[in-house]
Structures are given as structure tokens and as C-alpha cells.
Amino acid sequence: MIVVDASPATQLDRLVRLRGMTEEDARARMAAQATREQRREIAAIVIDNDVPLAELEQRVKDVWSELVDRASRRSPAE
């Protein structure tokens, strides 16, 4: 599983600013979801979304390359 992780402050800001939610509704949505720690614990790959866009883009490219490489090494029977 791939998890794209952002700090609670970033999550709250984006829900309010980009989705038009009230702060109360945004906090309720966040509370209803798995915790950040729970998501990170089950992730095979974590992408940090609290970094500058150029760094995020590079990380996504790196993850994609890793996944393509893994897929190319698998036998057709798997």
C-alpha cells in the first residue's frame, strides 16, 4: 500500500481552503479516519506531501520507477 502523508495542519488547511469545509467539519472528518500513525504503519511506501512540489514530484517519479522495476522482475505466473 502506498500512503501519501501530510501533517494534520496541512490536512486541515487543505480541507478548509481547497474543499470549502468549516474547520469543525474538517476536524470531524480527520477524526473519523485512520490516524496518521495507523496509515504509516501499514504502508509499504510513504510519500511525504509536506515538501516543496519539485521534491514531491521527484519522490513520485522514484516510487513509480521502483514499482515498474518490481513488476518487470516478477514472473508471469505470479
C-alpha cell belonging to residue 27: 476536524
pTM here is 0.76
Model pLDDT, residue 77: 65
HEC secondary structure over the chain: CEEEECCHHHHHHHHHHHHCCCHHHHHHHHHHCCCHHHHHHHCCEEEECCCCHHHHHHHHHHHHHHHHHHHHHCCCCC
Q: Map out the domains of the chain as residue ranges.
A: 2-73
User: Average model confidence (pLDDT) for the chain?
Assistant: 95
Model pLDDT, residue 69: 95
